């Protein structure tokens, strides 16, 4: 590590010791929605004041941190057990990536500073009959004067109950081929006709929501990119979800989730024997640690690349999501019946909290959003390896 990076790491470590709330896990366990939202907003501003909230943004918008420094920052935040920016995740990654790549100057000037001030976003892509096959979406946006009248339904919208704005895909040309008649809109969640209904999950949380849209008017000024070109714009959003966000998540998994797994294995059981004394457990931990090292390297390469390969982001997303499942599954196996006695966890902890049964159940979320694992394998095969698309059965 260079002297510059070593100095930066020392600065981040000192900041973490001074600013990360020592008892945040206890305080957040069982927290109400209002307490969770207030905590997330306060923590985001704490990171922002230090320049750590959006290091991946361009310097002109408050970021500009090198990939090497970002890796150091995320590693230290994970090592010091910092809360995750769960509530701001879509805003600082997906919304920002979309606006920076395809938004107008007015849209960027309106929303990027607002995101830094705490504006929360949700992604309105998936529908009941258009999840993996996103191009089959049925939500419509009919042009009327200076606005679009939107009708339809979205589902699995993470954090919609707390969101101010929505990244919305809707069909503006029903007669066009599936991918060519979709437009990308920015929708104010406070608009008349927006109805958000939380979905209770197996973990007991209600992170996901349904969004019902009944004659919702979205101004034409909120169109991102040309009309009917939303599919192309959406690739910027999905690229961020599959790629740029993984740098932080990989460090969190390695220095948070894996560390808790090692601690679990080192803890003696009722018979006084620690799982770590078993050679099979040590071998499994060695495999997971090797996989994590590979994941972190792939993430760093992806973010640093001037022109990533057409399937690189899908490779990283697939690898991360399935490694998360393997790690949390092993945590449940090692913890045994005790894994099922922890029925709550801090909502600001993500899926690497050490509440193994809940983490394992939650890990399945990651093989679905941004394209299921099956979709990622198709992208890797077709775009990365140049394999022919499988013909449809007659």
Residue linked to tokens 């060695």: 286
Is 241 one of the catalytic residues?
yes
Query: Residue-wise over 190-208: b if at least 16 C-beta within 10 A, else e?
Result: eeeebebeeeeeebeeebb
CA distance 205 to 74: 26
In this structure, are residues 367 and 321 in contact, taking their beta carbons and an 8 Å threshold? yes
Q: Which residues pair with 56 in a beta bridge?
A: none
Write down the catalytic residue from 241, 248, 251, 291. Answer: 241
CA distance 300 to 290: 16
Q: Give the 3-state DSSP-derived string for the chain, with helices as H, strands as E and coil as C.
A: CCHHHHHHHHHHHHHHHHHCCCCHHHHHCCCCHHHHHHHHHHHHHHHHHHCCCCCCCCHHHCCCCCHHHHHHHHHHHHHCCCCCCCCCHHHHHHHHHHHHHHCCHHHHHHHHHHHHCCCCEEEECCECCECCCHHHCCCEEEEECCEEEEEEEECCCCCHHHCCEEEEEEECCCCCCHHHCEEEEEEECCCCCEEEEECCCCCCCCCCEEEEEEEEEEEHHHEECCCCEHHHHHHHHHHHHHHHCHHHHHHHHHHHHHHHHHHHHHCCCCCCCCHHHCHHHHHHHHHHHHHHHHHHHHHHHHHHCCCCCCCHHHHHHHHHHHHHHHHHHHHHHHHHHHHHCCCCCCCCCCCCCCCHHHHHHHHHHHHCCCCCHHHHHHHHHHHHCCCCCCCCCC
CA distance 241 to 94: 6
The closest of 312, 249, 309 to 71, measured between CA atoms, is: 249
Which active-site residues does the annotation give?
A: 241
């Amino acid at each position: 590590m260079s002297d510059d990076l070593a100095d930066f790491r020392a600065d981040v470590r000192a900041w973490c010791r001074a600013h990360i709330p020592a008892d945040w896990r206890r305080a957040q366990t069982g927290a109400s929605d209002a307490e969770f939202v207030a905590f997330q907003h306060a923590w985001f501003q704490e990171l922002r004041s230090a320049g750590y909230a959006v290091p991946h943004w361009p310097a002109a918008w408050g970021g500009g941190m090198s990939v090497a420094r970002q890796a150091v920052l995320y590693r230290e935040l994970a090592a010091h057990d910092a809360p995750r920016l769960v509530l701001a995740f879509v805003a600082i990654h997906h919304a920002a990536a979309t606006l920076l790549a395809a938004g107008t100057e007015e849209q960027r000037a309106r929303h990027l500073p607002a995101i830094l001030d705490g504006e929360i976003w949700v992604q309105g892509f998936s529908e009941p009959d258009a999840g993996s096959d996103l191009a089959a979406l049925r939500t419509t946006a009919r042009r009327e004067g200076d606005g679009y009248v939107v009708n339809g339904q979205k589902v699995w919208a993470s954090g919609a109950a707390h969101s101010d704005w929505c990244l919305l895909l809707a069909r503006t040309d029903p007669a066009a081929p599936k991918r060519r008649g979709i437009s990308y809109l920015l929708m104010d969640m406070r608009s008349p006709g927006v109805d958000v209904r939380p979905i209770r999950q197996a973990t007991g949380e209600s992170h996901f929501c349904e969004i019902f849209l009944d004659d919702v008017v979205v101004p034409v000024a909120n169109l991102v990119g040309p009309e009917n070109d939303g599919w192309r714009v959406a690739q910027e959003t999905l690229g961020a979800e599959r790629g740029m966000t993984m740098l932080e998540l990989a460090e969190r998994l390695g220095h948070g989730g894996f560390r808790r797994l090692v601690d679990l294995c080192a803890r003696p059981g009722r018979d006084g024997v620690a799982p770590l004394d078993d050679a099979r457990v040590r071998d499994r931990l060695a495999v997971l640690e090797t996989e994590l090292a590979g994941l972190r390297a792939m993430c760093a390469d992806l973010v640093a690349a001037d022109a990533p390969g057409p399937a690189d982001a899908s490779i990283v997303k697939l690898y991360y999501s399935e490694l998360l499942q393997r790690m949390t599954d092993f945590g449940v196996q090692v913890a045994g019946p005790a894994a099922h006695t922890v029925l709550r966890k801090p909502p600001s902890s993500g899926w690497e909290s050490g509440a193994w049964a809940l983490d394992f159940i939650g890990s399945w979320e990651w093989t679905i959003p941004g394209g299921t694992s099956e979709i990622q394998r198709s992208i890797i095969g077709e775009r990365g390896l140049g394999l022919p698309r499988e013909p449809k059965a007659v």
